[in-house]
A and B are shown apart, each in its own frame.
Chain A
Amino acid sequence: MAVVAEVPVEKWVGQVHEVRLGGNGRREVVVGGETTLPFLRFEGALPHPPVVAIEVRDREPRDWPAPLSGAWGDALKDPGAWAKKATQFGAEIICLRLASAHPEEGDTGADQARRVVETVLGAVDLPLIILGPEVPAKDNEVLVAASEVARGQRVALGPCVEKNYRTIAAACLADGHVAIAKTPIEINLAKQLNILLLDLGLSPDQVLVDPSTGALGYGLEYSYSVMERLRLAGLTGDKMTAMPMFNTVGEETWRQKESRAAGGMPPSWGEWEERALLWEEITAIGLLHAGSDIVVLRHPRSVEKVKRAIQALSGK
């Protein structure tokens, strides 16, 4: 007796916008373009598998736990060397955080931002994502400077937030960059900010969505479900939610206790380094299955493992 099982295939009408970074002599990375849910190749196209970016900071991080700082060594002291090493470790994009512009972290300004962006652009040929310190006034100052230096290199600049998006969006318009629209884990706010950015004149292929990332055990489920909802809305035809998604996984996981605590933890937490790595990797795997197009990681081994999983899932 033959049983017929007709697998339901969803006919999605929408497509995720394609966003290009780099080019013009620099390596080019395109994300987005999906016409189905993450990795479901039997019913739609996934022209560009998700990519892994490595986070580089403009000054040596003082508080990184040993399993993380040990993996990078002295490269942490120099953003150019760090970016080069990140390239060797398999980064597809360098995500440069201008941390020293934060009022508590040095309060550096436009000059320092220009220098660091120039250094990193000169050191590697990967595309760049440049993030400010997430203090609105300082973001405007350093991202505008970064935008000018990177003109023609099509970098992504962020965060653009609801209360502070005009200046950075204008810089993206003027210099041909991509804006990262960040909202606090809420689908309607994400959509609204996309609309505001497009009203200013950015085109849909100039916007990445940062839905805010909750680490494993620290709100991951909220990010996961908001991302699934955004992607479903995009695939069912809402163009204002059909932007590729971006997650700062490394930053969120390595600040949690499970990744930082050297000792004095219950034995059921297990060995520190393995736990910390899995905390980063599992957060990434979860969010990739919810629709992430770019995950930013910190540890080289996480980069290797997560890239292998993406390759296996994408058949590439």
Chain B
Amino acid sequence: MPLTGIEIYKHLPKTNCKECSFPTCLAFAMKVAQKAVPITQCPYLSPEARAALEAAARPPIHLVTIGADKRKIEVGNEVVMFRHEKTFYHPPGIVVRLKDTTPVEELKRRAQEIASYQVERVGMKLGLDGLALENASGDPSALARALEAVDGQGDLPLVLMAGPGALAQVLEKVAPRRPLLYAATRDNWEAMAELALKYKCPLAVAEPSGLEALAGQVEKISQKGVEDIVLDPGARDFASSLVTLTQIRRLALKKNFRPLGHPVITFPGEGAKDQEEEALLAAQQVAKYAGVIVLDRFSPSLAYPLLALRLNIYTDPQKPIQVQPGVYQLGAPKEASPLCVTTNFSLTYFSIAGELESSGFPSWLLVCDTEGLSVLTAWAAGKFDAARIAKTVKEFKAGETVSHHSLILPGKVAVLKGELEEELPGWQVLVGPPEAMDIGGFLKQHWKN
């Protein structure tokens, strides 16, 4: 919760000394509230006031970074309960758990498979974010061997699931990669906190017996000096995960409750009876407030829909989502197949693409850059006119893609037909239906294959 000028003013010396370059302390406070100048510009700020102001200016949910290179996971620092209120900023890291009881060759293969997994959607490349490596054997040297096996296999950010004994033996080597240490429990928390401090790694705190017990545990660990904390409240099934993660988020955002102002880690596989159910629970957690999601099972058919969901939920609802301009194939079109044109607002694209896909007519879809506006809005704003459509036709060489030189125009901009035919000599412009859902019927009536 950002402070107001008046709240900041209360902490200032109120001497109007002008050394901050502002005429009064109040004027300075107002500028600080707007984040125009740093609070440190006041030379007479008492250490107590400074600490209080800095604490109040901290985001209600701490931002935690796992990993060190450019594939690092950054989670936390969310500011709303519902995405329409602003946006959800830091998509949950989706990681896959491997165990050190798995043979080394198999570990290598799976780490490589997870690291290289990539799926493309509307011009974006989506992938998984990390590996959780569990010391399931209980043997510290097995953990070290497993780490060695996955080393060099894509080097994804790591969650190390082990006790302090095993961690102490591997951290010297792996700490520069900034793994998340999982987890401080009520039995080992002092040793885990020491490791987190010594090796500067983020630390997960696991306490399943209620939010107050969890908060108490976090307080103790924070007082030791550990700042980068991830919470595991122990909620494992559909109902408790939704309720617990909602409550943690509310406490952090609405009450500015510091001990629980941290991202949450979830284990959907532990509350599910099979792979499909794990995916559904993970889906809930993507939408409802998880920071790191540890999957027990990986398969492309499970990863792809989860990544698509994460992309959906974490897009900025205040910005229209845009599709890359270009020529898209729907079905397996040939050069005699229909060619439609539309705008690059994602919902417009998906409406018409979905209809063409199920129309029984494999088609080409030419997408114009209208800066994310829908057909009528773009037309009204002058971003979807004959000149721009003609330019796009030429830019993407649509004339070389299809043999027929017929272009189907959205019915809502039928008025552009004449002008467009002047702009595109040799082309025939057909006026399609005003609504995407009628394109199938339109093609059936008007398109001769």
Contacts and interface: CB of A to CB of B under 8 A. Distances in A.
Interface of A: 1-8, 39-42, 63, 102-104, 134, 185, 214-222, 224-225, 228-229, 232, 252, 255-258, 260, 264, 266-272, 274-275, 277-279, 281-282, 285-286, 289-290, 305-306, 308-309, 312-315
Interface in B344-394: 346-347, 350-351, 353-354, 357-358, 360
Size class of the contact patch on chain B: 35 or more
A104 B439 CA distance: 11
Given A3-B259, A39-B242, A220-B309, A268 B346 contact: no
B324 to A, nearest CB: 15
Given A221-B317, A222-B347, A258-B304, A266 B120 contact: yes
B304 A1 contact: no
A7 B247 contact: yes
Given A267-B300, A274-B299, A309-B280, A8 B255 contact: yes
A260 B357 contact: yes
B437 interface: yes
A315 B440 CA distance: 44
5 contacts: A8-B254, A217-B350, A221-B315, A255-B357, A266-B120
A252 to B, nearest CB: 8
A309 B238 contact: yes
B280 A217 contact: no
A257 B357 contact: yes
Interface of B: 82-84, 117-121, 211-212, 215-216, 219-220, 237-239, 242-243, 246-247, 250-251, 254-255, 257, 259-260, 276-277, 279-281, 283-284, 287-288, 299-306, 308-309, 311-313, 315, 317, 330, 332, 346-347, 350-351, 353-354, 357-358, 360, 437, 440-441, 444
A137 to B, nearest CB: 13
B437 A269 contact: no
A286 B309 CA distance: 8
A117 to B, nearest CB: 24
B260 A278 contact: no
A214 B350 contact: yes
Contact of B243 (A1, A42, A290, A309): A42
B347 A268 contact: no
Contacts of B119: 266, 268-269
B357 A305 contact: no
